Structure 1
Amino acid sequence: MAVYAQELEHLLRESFPNAQITVEGSDGRHMSALVIDESFRGKNRVQQQRAVYAALKGKMDGPDGELHALALTTRAPD
């Protein structure tokens, strides 16, 4: 089963309700996401990305994960 942009954005929005979120990709397996959220302030990039992967609730876990690749950009707002 694939994960599409709308579903991915919904999952992210549950954990980051006030974030600016942009999701792109149409094949359901290779996506990109930009997540800009105040909760990232003071956290390094690895901490930010771990928070996003946790929000995906296992969609990328293991070789049989629904989402194969996610090009991820995270940051706090300017």
Structure 2
Amino acid sequence: MNSKKMIEEITALPVEERVMIVDSLLRSLNQPESEIDKKWIATARQRLMEMRAGSVGAAIPGNEVFDRIWQRFQE
């Protein structure tokens, strides 16, 4: 299978599956080794479990979060 076909198939997958693929690819390029990386991974997994369980309020889209951050720096 060529790269173009593979990308087309991957982009047709549900977002959670695409995230797992991206995560796997990034890990293959930059293996997490440090304690900080391990803590970030644990935090991300915990937050994902909370989101799936519905124990977190409404999620804030990433672009909105970054807009808020930029606004704080511009003040």
Normalised by the length of structure 1, the TM-score is: 0.28
Task: Flag the structure with higher strand content.
Answer: 1
User: Per chain length, whose mean CA-contact separation is higher, i.e. which structure has more relative contact order (CA < 8 Å, sep 6+)?
Assistant: 1
Bigger Rg over Cα: 2
Task: Flag the structure with higher helix content.
Answer: 2
